[in-house]
Structure 1
Amino acid sequence: MRRIRLAAAALVLATGAALAQSETFRVDDVPPGDSLSIREAPDATAPAVGRAPWDARLRGFGCTTDTPSGRTWCRVKYGRIVGWARRKFLAPE
């Protein structure tokens, strides 16, 4: 029983740390009426899992530059859509 409590406490602490590291972005440099593709993987050729409108706010969970293209991508969430968006189109809130 003690192990279960310790594991649960560790999970709560880890989750809190992950949430503290998230940030909010707004879609930027996308023309009014257009939308930003959110992709399955940090790659322009990856399938789109959804789209965010030009004026949307997204939650970000870290960005990476270690992609084959060398472009920066960020892990984002918009509503129920979770995927990757180009950093170029995201501005910090």
Structure 2
Amino acid sequence: MYNSFARNTIITHAAENKTLQLADGSKVVLNSDSKIIFDEDYNIDNRSIKFEGEAYFDIVKGDIPFIVDTQHGKITVLGTIFNVHQETMDLKWE
């Protein structure tokens, strides 16, 4: 799933936030001290990311599941809005 030669890594530091638009149109807002890693072929064969920290996800509906892989487990959706805080795995669904 994660090719070590073709990855994108986005990191935020203390007091920094970043908003990302993924290839499928999904939006991710990374809170401070967070990291997201996804393959160059995101939205071709998969919609999988590795994640650490806290982020707000606004995921576009699609036939390919969107998967957030954290050290506490995986979250799989087809399209929804949610927040992930990795330390507590507090998921807020809207």
TM-score, with normalisation over the residues of structure 1? 0.30
Greater helix share, 1 or 2?
1
Max radius of gyration: which structure?
1
Higher relative contact order by CA 8 Å / sep ≥ 6: 1 or 2? 1
TM-score, with normalisation over the residues of structure 2? 0.30
